[in-house]
Amino acid sequence: MKIELIYTEGCEKCAAARHELRAAAATAVHDLVWREINVLDEVDYAVQLGVIALPSIAIDGQLVFASLPSGLQLQQEMARREKDILRDRCVSPK
Amino acid sequence: MLTIGKLAAIAHVSPDALRYYEREKLIAPTAKSDGGYRLYDEGAVRRIRFIKQAQNCGFTLSEIGELLTLRSRSSACCGDVRKRAIEKKLQLESKIRAMKAMSKALDGLVAECTEESHPIDDCPILSALDRANGIR
């Protein structure tokens, strides 16, 4: 599962929260891909995702949080998506 | 002290705009004259120039109010303002993207019409718009 955290530099509070979120996400799934994106480096991609507030979090290319969630909220969302993925695999096995 | 008329002339806005800014709580008269007229200090000129400049950058009056609040808050820092500026840029880029898509859709419609002398019932652009609505 790919988590992308789109942020802007200069926010110390966000930097600490990013660290905590990454740790929380790492415990939620085995296949975590964690990407932190400085929005000014990838403006086009951020616009494509629909980001209009910072920081934001996208999961597997879909904008999910328009502000930083708690570690628990992120884990719950990841778990819900993981469950959906597993269910889809069972319905249409490759 | 400046009357509303003088302030409007110096700041190149209309008195009505100043009253509107006041209703939106962006400016406030410093005092009132004996006759009840609004009076402003020199700081109002700077504040109005700030408002106009921010409007030119795409900020709404409500967002400008937040910027003015940030400016007067000692706990705020430049990063707070920068974040808002970047978010505004993202909003503008998003609108530009949507408008480019609209422009491209219009290109397609214009390309459908190669003969301008068609009667209106045979207009390819109107037909294409009907098709988009599922009407054949």
Here the ipTM equals: 0.79
Residue B122: its pLDDT value, please?
A: 84
What's the pLDDT tens digit per position in B8-25? Answer: 999 999 999 999 999 999
| Through-space distance between the first and last CA atoms of chain B, rounded to whole angstroms | 68
What's the pLDDT tens digit per position in A32-70? Answer: 999 999 999 999 999 999 999 999 999 999 999 998 999
Nearest to B86 among A48, A50, A54 (CB): A54
Residue B21: its pLDDT value, please?
A: 96
For β-strands A62-65 and B31-32, DSSP reports them as unpaired
Give A11's pLDDT tier (boundaries 50, 70, 90).
low
Round the average pLDDT of chain A to a whole number and report it.
Answer: 90
Report, as an integer, the average pLDDT of B79-99.
93
* DSSP assignment letter at B13: -
Query: Using omega within 30 degrees of 0 as the cis cutoff, is the peptide bond preceding A55 cis?
Result: yes
What is the rounded distance in angstroms from the CA atom of residue A3 to the CA atom of residue A21? 10
| Through-space distance between the first and last CA atoms of chain A, rounded to whole angstroms | 19
What is the rounded distance in angstroms from the CA atom of residue A67 to the CA atom of residue B59? 20
Residue A79 has pLDDT above 90, yes or no: yes
Q: Give the minimum alpha-carbon distance from A73 to chain B in angstroms, rounded to a whole number.
A: 24
Query: B-chain residues within 8 Å CB-CB of A48?
Result: 97
Q: Which of A8, A42, A49 to mutate to test the interface with B (most CBs of B within 10 A)?
A: A8
Query: From chain A, which residues contact B within 8 Å (Cβ)?
Result: 8, 10-11, 39-40, 43-44, 46-48, 50-54
Q: Give the minimum alpha-carbon distance from B94 to chain A in angstroms, rounded to a whole number.
A: 6
Calculate the CA B106 to chain-centre distance: 25
Query: B-chain residues within 8 Å CB-CB of A39?
Result: 86, 90
Q: Give the minimum alpha-carbon distance from A52 to chain B in angstroms, rounded to a whole number.
A: 5
Residue A94: its pLDDT value, please?
A: 55
Report, as an integer, the average pLDDT of B110-131.
84
Residue B64: its pLDDT value, please?
A: 96
Report, as an integer, the average pLDDT of A68-87.
91
Give A93's pLDDT tier (boundaries 50, 70, 90).
low
What is the rounded distance in angstroms from the CA atom of residue B69 to the CA atom of residue B85? 15
Q: Quick one: closest CA in B to A50, which residue?
A: B94
What is the rounded distance in angstroms from the CA atom of residue B89 to the CA atom of residue B94? 8
What is the rounded distance in angstroms from the CA atom of residue A76 to the CA atom of residue A28? 8
Report, as an integer, the average pLDDT of B93-122.
89
The residue with greater pLDDT, B62 or B130, is B62
Nearest to B83 among A43, A46, A54 (CB): A54
- Residue % of chain A over a pLDDT of 70: 94
B33-42, B91-100, B115-124: least confident range: B115-124
Q: Quick one: closest CA in A to B96, which residue?
A: A47
Residue B118 has pLDDT above 90, yes or no: no
Buried b (16+ CB within 10 A) or exposed e, B10-41: ebebeeeebeebeeeebbebeeeeeeeebbbe
- The DSSP secondary structure of B70-130, one letter per residue, reads HHH-TT--HHHHHHHHHHHHHHHHHHHHHHHHHHHHHHHHHHH---TTS-GGG-HHHHHHH
Nearest to A47 among B78, B83, B97 (CB): B97
- Rg, Å, chain A Cα set: 14
Residue B136 has pLDDT above 60, yes or no: no
Nearest to B94 among A11, A40, A52 (CB): A52
Backbone angles phi, psi at B83, to 5 degrees: -60, -45
